[in-house]
Structure 1
Amino acid sequence: MVGGAVAVNGADTAMSRLIDPNRKWYNNKRLLALNGWIVLLLITSSTNGYDGSMMNGLQSLPQWANYFGNPTGGKLGLLNAIQNIGSLAGYPFAPYVSDGIGRRGAIFLGAAIMCIAVAIQTAAYSVGMFIGARFMIGFGLTFAANAAPMLVSEVSYPTYRAPLTSLYNSLWYSGAIIAAWSTYGTFKIPSTWAWRLPSLLQGIPSILQVFLIWFVPESPRWLVSKGKDAQALQTLAYYHADGNDQDPLVQYEYEEIRAAIEFDRTVAANVGWKSFLTTPGNRKRVRIIVAIAFFSQWSGNGLVSYYLNKVFDTIGITDPTTQLLINGILQIWNLFWACGASFMVDRAGRRMLFLTSAGGMLLFWTVQTICVALFAEHRSPDAAHSVIAFIFLYYAVYDLAFTPLIVSYTVEILPFALRAKGFNIFNFTISCALIFNQYINPIALDALQWKYYIVYVCWIAFEFVFLYFFVVETKNLTLEETAALFDGAEAAAEVAHAGATEVREDASEKGSHGGYSPQAELKA
């Protein structure tokens, strides 16, 4: 690990010197435009967050429960889990679509499927129709969610890449907030529109993407991988340097991208599914990716995310209005902490945020477990109120890492040739964990009551130990440098310095003809 970090350090210093300190998102119209298009990509996560919170809210709506026959147990678990089952059906195809027709094409396909599915869900007149529509939503979401965070990471201006990619998963809560307050607002509607209207609103992000996605710049890395080098250079120049394709930063990015993709093709042969198991670097990546995916869903948060009403029932809070109100406030609280953490990723570092998050979760979940046990024993209102307080504290520390970092960290540690496939492994793991949680949690909670919380105390303790030994720090590195960090000093040097060398040579030629030469800046 140390060798890789040293190997890329010089190139990282060169990159930082090439970035114009006066070029900020708020004073450069092209960076403003780029970040505006990135927002269109980020709302993909809002669709997913909307669904989880909407289903939480619908369970508290008598209009929904009565219409579908008051589902419980396995039937309720299926209604929640079916979206993730739909996602599983899309996973075999998603990376090939993202790599084949491009990031934008994959997002368009996924958004179009979700628009159709939302229409069916809103018009559902039977539980089977509702379940089928949610399956389609999950299937379409797989394509959009596979491509969107990769495109954010691959097209962002270097200094904003980590915060913007971290914002992707953080904006899960923006969808959750809209869903929570929509179901709260429609609670008084004395008809099926109490649940049909929140269902209809779920399609807004997808509608926007269907109409606007082709205005978003395509990934320069994908363009280079398809032999469209001139178009990739033009995209980098237009958005990162006001159209100047000879800008030293643009040249550095362009050559580094070319070198990394060529390295994957010819030196490492690092392009197929088998390669995830054949090299030490890739095995390390898979171990981390699968672990943080499971941890993000198996840390007790699955209880509150999908079965908040049942959690409240166990502590005597049964009024639907109160449940919906707390759910709405909780989503705003989560968005605040997750977005705040997104802007700290390069300052605090990934490792520090992961360890702080896991340690805090262990503390607050343990105390929450004690409070739930006290309520079960003494039926004390103070114990019930304490549970609510510790739910909020638990989510504050959960949101330091397991909301913003799980997507951005996964994307950045993967080389381009494996990024779509590796991110698919991440999403597949998430869905498996969610399906398990959504089926098992209501059954286990009914059977074990508060004792079920102890299972998560033990599991979160294991998470802390794992993260301490295996998380690799990646702050302030480019995508190519971060990917090379896992493959040893030789690969790191090959990829991270190739771009600087080629830019240096190109700049030397321009300097000999009287043009601007960035050689002095690149010598570091």
Structure 2
Amino acid sequence: MPEDSIQDDKPTGLDLTAGEVVHIENEEKLGVDTEHGAYPPGNQYEHVLEAHKVNYLGKGYLKLYLACLLVYLNSTMKGYDASMMASVNVLPSYLAYFNLKDAPASSSIVFAIFQVGQIASCFFYWTMDVFGRKLVLFVSCIGVIACIIIQGTAVKLSVFIGGRFLGSVFSTTASLTSVVYLVEIAPPLYRGAVAGTFNTLYYMGALIASFAAYGATIHYDSSSNITWKLPTYLQILCPAIMAMFVYFIPESPRWLAMRNREEEARAIIVKYHANGDPDHPAVELEMEEIKHSLMLTREEEGTRPWEIALDFRKLFVTRARRYRTILAGSMGWVGEFCGSNIASYYLPEMAKAVGITDTNTLLLLTAMYFVVAWIAAIIGANLHDRFGRRKIMTTAMGCLTAVFAVMAVTTAEFQRTGNKAASYTMLTFIFLFGITFSFAFTPMQQVYPAEVMDNQMRARGIAFFGVNSGIAAFTSVMIAQIALDSISYNFYTFYCVWDFVLLLVIFFFFVETKERTLEELDWIFEAKNPRKASTAKM
């Protein structure tokens, strides 16, 4: 392609016919290495669709949305657990059944064992690369159902904890596989909304669980075991629906391409990204980008799939991959160790600290918290593609810093003077925390790590995220109850300082991923400063 074909000094990227990499006049300015196969700057897919419109309400896209809607149900499993345990932990029947009264450390173990399972599940991430996304989703959902039955029939706390551990392994595997699947199959320009909506369904599970617990306490005697067993068994609903219908959704085209099944991958892109039009230019561009991205990692060609999948060293072999991997791991700490877990798991305990002790009121507050958080998450999922990941996450983390500062002050004031105004202000800011976190981080918490990894490293990268996320969540949940009992409002002061540190990390190191295909991000990470390259005006 001749250099004079580039207008207004803006690189156009790939030649749609030949798949060539064009010369970039500003590559030195941005620190781009194009000699080693890195993609040039620009939003190629966006430019193609500006000239060749597609109907996002066409037959293919409607089928794609239905497939994504089914996969979203996997997100409800974690949300259901978080809310169910927060609600069940205040029920007299549950506390008496497992003899948990006045044992904060035991309650912390019951909560935190889920995070231990989350860490353990990451050692099975390779299954999605070897067996495909769909099969892993099916097996994981069946495993979750079995573990729920174990929890509901447990007569000893150790068995209940074991069921929660295994359930966490299966549900986290399903969750991480779902995110990888959605990121890989979503329309590139609406990846933030389509894939980001997944984690918002966390709150649907939370709402079902909290209202199930609330309803059970109203209609059954508080000493009856059905008040905690009914919410436990209702967890079966969503994984059962997923297991029944997962066969009918398409496989990930990028996984098919990795397995050298390019014709099948192309057929899926034609059907779901071009409404069945095989001649649409976006089809050829997307396939060329996928093949080019895989070509850059052919050093693993000839190696057996499970050996590839189990080799974590590949995450660190180049500077670009190291940057990607550190971002994925950092997102685990941003999402799980910014205070989000103490709000979802320990909201009743936080409310008790400012004078709200009635059981029904605590259950209703938990349910209301998840309602407003879900609304905020849905709105946020639809705005990340418009305003960008970095801008929203940086602003939100600044707000969370301020929220924890107010929570520390108001809790201290209530405990010192018993001031009711301080109590209500504290409660208000708990809700503000949920709204802010859900708006900015819930949609991107698992999607962003999947976005920043290249095709062949995505499963390994999302597993690395899962390990860090699990460690962060375990640490947060395990110490929360003890810290709330021991240092009270100073616990919120700690999170105020820590969230400010996370704000700096996001601002200086996180790259922008909006409006680029997964393959176009390869160029970003080959730049000398990926964060600057991702936000440079093109």
TM-score w.r.t. structure 1 length? 0.89
Q: Is 1:470–2:514 an aligned residue pair?
A: no
User: Shift of the alpha carbon at 1:487?
Assistant: 2.2
Q: Is 1:148–2:178 an aligned residue pair?
A: yes
CA contact (8 A) 1:285 1:413 kept: yes
Give the 3-state SS of the residue equivalent to 2:296 in structure 1: helix
Q: Which moved more, 1:461-470 or 1:70-79?
A: 70-79
Q: In structure 2, what residue type is equivalent to 1:411?
A: A
Q: Is 1:24–2:63 an aligned residue pair?
A: no
Match of 1:319 in 2: 358
Q: Is 1:219–2:249 an aligned residue pair?
A: no
Q: Is 1:276–2:308 an aligned residue pair?
A: no
CA contact (8 A) 1:225 1:261 kept: yes
Distance 2:500 2:453 in 1: 27
Higher helix proportion: 1
Which of the residues 431, 440, 444 maps onto 1:401?
440
Distance 1:388 1:130 in 2: 32
In the TM superposition, 1:104-115 aligns within 5 A as 104-115=134-145
User: Shift of the alpha carbon at 1:449?
Assistant: 1.6
CA shift digits 1:409-448 (9 cap, x unpaired): 1111100110000001111111111111221111111111
Judged with a 3 Å threshold, the aligned counterparts in structure 2 of structure 1 residues 6 and 483 are, in CA distance, closer, same or farther, namely closer
User: Shift of the alpha carbon at 1:73?
Assistant: 2.3
Q: Is 1:118–2:157 an aligned residue pair?
A: no
In the TM superposition, 1:283-302 aligns within 5 A as 283-302=322-341
Match of 1:500 in 2: none
Q: Which 5+ residue runs of structure 2 have no aligned equivalent?
A: 1-28, 33-37, 531-537
Which of the residues 177, 199, 207 maps onto 1:177?
207
Give the 3-state SS of the residue equivalent to 1:244 in structure 2: coil
CA shift digits 1:363-411 (9 cap, x unpaired): 1111111101100110111111110111111222212322111212111
CA contact (8 A) 2:39 2:523 kept: no
CA contact (8 A) 2:133 2:181 kept: yes
Q: In structure 1, what residue type is equivalent to 2:80?
A: Y
User: Shift of the alpha carbon at 1:266?
Assistant: 4.4
CA root-mean-square deviation: 2.3
Distance 1:66 1:18 in 2: 66
Which of the residues 350, 353, 359 maps onto 2:398?
359
Q: In structure 1, what residue type is equivalent to 2:455?
A: F
User: Shift of the alpha carbon at 1:13?
Assistant: 4.5
Distance 2:51 2:270 in 1: 14
User: Shift of the alpha carbon at 1:18?
Assistant: 5.6
Q: In structure 1, what residue type is equivalent to 2:124?
A: F
Judged with a 3 Å threshold, the aligned counterparts in structure 2 of structure 1 residues 2 and 49 are, in CA distance, closer, same or farther, namely farther
Distance 1:392 1:75 in 2: 27
CA shift digits 1:150-179 (9 cap, x unpaired): 111111223332211111122211111111
Q: In structure 2, what residue type is equivalent to 1:32?
A: L
User: Shift of the alpha carbon at 1:98?
Assistant: 0.6
Judged with a 3 Å threshold, the aligned counterparts in structure 2 of structure 1 residues 47 and 267 are, in CA distance, closer, same or farther, namely closer
Judged with a 3 Å threshold, the aligned counterparts in structure 2 of structure 1 residues 130 and 414 are, in CA distance, closer, same or farther, namely same
Match of 2:374 in 1: 335
Give the 3-state SS of the residue equivalent to 1:202 in structure 2: helix
User: Shift of the alpha carbon at 1:133?
Assistant: 1.2
Q: Is 1:350–2:369 an aligned residue pair?
A: no
Distance 2:490 2:118 in 1: 32
Judged with a 3 Å threshold, the aligned counterparts in structure 2 of structure 1 residues 10 and 199 are, in CA distance, closer, same or farther, namely closer
4+ residue segments displaced more than 6 Å: 267-271
Which of the residues 360, 364, 381 maps onto 2:420?
381
User: Shift of the alpha carbon at 1:19?
Assistant: 4.8
Match of 1:193 in 2: 226
Judged with a 3 Å threshold, the aligned counterparts in structure 2 of structure 1 residues 41 and 483 are, in CA distance, closer, same or farther, namely farther
Distance 1:267 1:33 in 2: 34
CA contact (8 A) 2:45 2:285 kept: no
Distance 1:303 1:142 in 2: 20
In the TM superposition, 1:428-443 aligns within 5 A as 428-443=467-482
CA contact (8 A) 1:217 1:235 kept: yes
Which of the residues 110, 132, 141 maps onto 1:79?
110
Q: In structure 1, what residue type is equivalent to 2:482?
A: I
User: Shift of the alpha carbon at 1:89?
Assistant: 2.3
Distance 1:472 1:123 in 2: 47
Q: In structure 2, what residue type is equivalent to 1:152?
A: L
CA contact (8 A) 1:50 1:175 kept: yes
User: Shift of the alpha carbon at 1:302?
Assistant: 2.0
User: Shift of the alpha carbon at 1:301?
Assistant: 2.1
Q: How many residues align?
A: 488
Judged with a 3 Å threshold, the aligned counterparts in structure 2 of structure 1 residues 406 and 256 are, in CA distance, closer, same or farther, namely same
CA contact (8 A) 1:47 1:205 kept: yes
Q: In structure 2, what residue type is equivalent to 1:223?
A: L
In the TM superposition, 1:57-96 aligns within 5 A as 57-71=87-101, 72-94=103-125, 96=126
CA shift digits 1:258-285 (9 cap, x unpaired): 1111222249999842232232212222
Q: In structure 2, what residue type is equivalent to 1:89?
A: A
Q: In structure 2, what residue type is equivalent to 1:233?
A: R
User: Shift of the alpha carbon at 1:88?
Assistant: 2.3
Give the 3-state SS of the residue equivalent to 2:446 in structure 1: helix
Judged with a 3 Å threshold, the aligned counterparts in structure 2 of structure 1 residues 6 and 273 are, in CA distance, closer, same or farther, namely closer
- Percent identity, please: 28
Distance 1:229 1:465 in 2: 42
Distance 1:157 1:464 in 2: 29
Judged with a 3 Å threshold, the aligned counterparts in structure 2 of structure 1 residues 17 and 79 are, in CA distance, closer, same or farther, namely same
Q: In structure 1, what residue type is equivalent to 2:320?
A: G
Which of the residues 274, 284, 294 maps onto 1:251?
284
In the TM superposition, 1:154-165 aligns within 5 A as 154-165=184-195
CA shift digits 1:13-68 (9 cap, x unpaired): 433336524x023xx22211111111111121111111001000001211211111
CA shift digits 1:307-359 (9 cap, x unpaired): 12221121111111111111111101000111101101111111110111111
Q: In structure 2, what residue type is equivalent to 1:391?
A: I
Match of 1:508 in 2: none
CA contact (8 A) 1:103 1:219 kept: yes
Distance 2:313 2:79 in 1: 33
Give the 3-state SS of the residue equivalent to 2:279 in structure 1: coil
Distance 1:113 1:267 in 2: 32
Match of 1:202 in 2: 235
Distance 1:214 1:11 in 2: 33
